A = this chain, B = another copy of it.
Amino acid sequence: MEKQIVILQKMIMTLLQEKKYPSLRDILVTMNPSDIAGIFDELDADRIPLLFRLLPKELAAETFVEMEPDPQELLIRGFSDSELKEVVDELYVDDAVDLIEEMPANVVRRILAQADPDTRKTINELLRYPENSAGSIMTTEYVDLRPEMTVGESILRIRRTGVDKETIYTCYVTKNRTLIGLVTVKDLLLAPDDDTPIKDIMETHMIAVGTHTDQEEVARRFAKYNFLAMPVVDNENRLVGIVTFDDAMDVMQEEATEDMEIMGGMSPSEKTYTRASVWDLFKQRIPWLMLLMVSSTFTSMIITGFETALAAQVALTAFIPMLMGTGGNSGSQSSVTVIRALSLGELELRDLPRVVWKEIRTAVCCGVALAAACFVKILLIDRLLLGNTDVSVLVAMVVCVTMAITILLAKVVGCVLPMAAKKLGLDPAVMASPFIATIVDALSLLVYFGVAKGLLHI
């Protein structure tokens, strides 16, 4: 399927080059706005306005919403005021807000100037909600009903006003702006009788979110409750907007990407890889590399402190990377698992003792298995196969005991730190591999030299 789109894109480029505009239009109208937007994202700047003007009005607006900010900005700069007004009028307010958040100030001023006064007011209100809050991703275009309306009247109302609503399938029942219930179009269609009042069929036990609820929490509830839309209420339980499932899906993806970026030792970025410049990538990556580089001073210090011991038993140095690696990997397994479970709401802070106990038992199993395997490996591969006679049975024992202890420490650190971060109000994802590895590196070296001193008397 994706291949078909690539083929279509090529065909469109060719037709554009050959200026076969009527055929181009015929093809474009069969396509989905997202796929057309994908073509704009790849197009040379000078062709973007040309292709855009070929689209019928409604499709043009739908395509515009799906584009990346760069072609959007380019188009707006080229639009006449009336062209801009046409596009702005077709946008849902939440899409208008998203657009405005991406555009430079002078473009924003032009967009707001073309929006009608009511829309402009709503946009300005939505812009005031904190970033990543339910208020910032909601739309105000929903169907609201009154409790005393009948099913028939409600259907009529949907027919009359539905065309401008982002979803008509869940309608909200309000009384003096307070949210008191919801009905779905399914309920309306399957209602036994058109004269039934809404208050008799509405669902009054609702899950709503506040305007300041974190968008990650909103997405989590969508995943849990399988709703098409979720009402957003203010402190007085007045309905101020709704979040629709498609926006929740986007949030879910963004949040997973953000967690992965942080776990990979990067600052999260809103730009896709293709859009990010080298400078963007540099800024995203260098702070963590610097921090981790400087913090590795501790490992250097520890090694320097044991230089004489290492010089006495040269074979010990060779196992440092393996011990640190195994420790780091064990720790990151635990931290990744816990971070994800926290982010999906499967774990809460009060589960900490249970988690630590589970990790300790897992660490003991992993530690014993790995230490035993390592012992065999060292004697068979390093000593016999590679003929490194420096590696005595005692050295192998030092390495394996260190390994078992390191794994235990790493798994405990790996599960405790993300939960501690959450407790402190930080993002648990910060406590993933890079950070854990740095701590575990230092711990494993300390254990290593401690055990070596004890067993080898150096």
- A78 interfacial by beta-carbon distance below 8 Å: no
Interface-side segment among A45-53, A118-126, A246-254? A246-254
B337 and A321 contacting across the interface, CB-CB below 8 Å = no
- Cβ contacts A327-355/B at 8 Å (1 or 0 each): 01110110111111100111100010001
B residues in contact with A362, CB < 8 Å:
278, 281-282, 285
B residues in contact with A433, CB < 8 Å:
264, 332, 433
CA distance A245 to B167 in the complex (A): 14
B residues in contact with A54, CB < 8 Å:
none
- A449 interfacial by beta-carbon distance below 8 Å: no
B residues in contact with A213, CB < 8 Å:
1
- A361 interfacial by beta-carbon distance below 8 Å: yes
Report the minimum CB–CB distance from A128 to chain B (whole Å).
Answer: 23
- A434 interfacial by beta-carbon distance below 8 Å: yes
- Chain A: interface residue count, which band? 35 or more
- A31 interfacial by beta-carbon distance below 8 Å: yes
A321 and B299 contacting across the interface, CB-CB below 8 Å = yes
Residue of B266, B293, B296, B329 touching A336 (CB-CB under 8 A): B266
Interface-side segment among A11-19, A79-87, A104-112, A182-190? A182-190
Known: A326-B293, A362-B278. A340 touches B265 (CB 8 A): no
- A209 interfacial by beta-carbon distance below 8 Å: yes
B residues in contact with A318, CB < 8 Å:
299-301, 303-304, 307
- A377 interfacial by beta-carbon distance below 8 Å: yes
Known: A185-B169, A223-B253. A300 touches B246 (CB 8 A): no
CA distance A404 to B238 in the complex (A): 58
User: In the complex, which residue of chain B has the Cβ closest to the Cβ of A255?
Assistant: B256
Interface-side segment among A173-181, A365-373, A420-428? A365-373
B366 and A286 contacting across the interface, CB-CB below 8 Å = yes
B residues in contact with A158, CB < 8 Å:
189
CA distance A413 to B286 in the complex (A): 18
A438 and B325 contacting across the interface, CB-CB below 8 Å = yes
Residue of B186, B217, B222, B278 touching A365 (CB-CB under 8 A): B278
CA distance A285 to B382 in the complex (A): 25
B337 and A264 contacting across the interface, CB-CB below 8 Å = yes
Residue of B226, B281, B325 touching A441 (CB-CB under 8 A): B325
Known: A249-B245, A282-B366, A337-B266. A324 touches B321 (CB 8 A): yes
- A30 interfacial by beta-carbon distance below 8 Å: yes
- A297 interfacial by beta-carbon distance below 8 Å: yes
User: In the complex, which residue of chain B has the Cβ closest to the Cβ of A264?
Assistant: B336
CA distance A238 to B189 in the complex (A): 28
B residues in contact with A282, CB < 8 Å:
362, 365-366, 369
- A168 interfacial by beta-carbon distance below 8 Å: yes
User: In the complex, which residue of chain B has the Cβ closest to the Cβ of A369?
Assistant: B286
B310 and A317 contacting across the interface, CB-CB below 8 Å = yes
B residues in contact with A374, CB < 8 Å:
293
CA distance A266 to B382 in the complex (A): 27
B residues in contact with A434, CB < 8 Å:
329, 332
B300 and A437 contacting across the interface, CB-CB below 8 Å = no
CA distance A290 to B374 in the complex (A): 9
CA distance A139 to B282 in the complex (A): 46
Residues in A lying within 8 Å of B, measured CB to CB? 1-2, 30-32, 34, 155, 158-159, 162-163, 168-169, 185-186, 189-190, 205, 207, 209, 213, 217, 221-226, 228, 245-246, 248-250, 252-253, 256-257, 259-261, 263-266, 272-274, 278-279, 281-282, 285-286, 288-290, 292-294, 296-297, 299-301, 303-304, 307, 310-311, 314-315, 317-322, 324-326, 328-330, 332-333, 335-341, 344-347, 351, 355, 358, 361-362, 365-366, 369-370, 373-374, 377, 381-382, 386, 388, 390, 407, 432-434, 437-438, 441, 445
- 26 sampled A-B residue pairs with Cβ under 8 A: A163-B190, A185-B185, A248-B249, A249-B252, A253-B344, A256-B260, A257-B340, A260-B263, A272-B341, A281-B362, A286-B365, A289-B407, A293-B377, A296-B322, A296-B326, A297-B322, A297-B381, A299-B322, A303-B317, A303-B318, A304-B315, A307-B318, A311-B311, A317-B317, A325-B438, A328-B437
Additional pairs, 18, CB under 8 Å, beyond known A288-B333, A297-B381: A31-B205, A155-B189, A168-B185, A169-B186, A245-B245, A257-B344, A265-B333, A266-B337, A274-B346, A279-B365, A286-B366, A289-B329, A289-B407, A293-B326, A300-B322, A300-B382, A320-B321, A329-B434
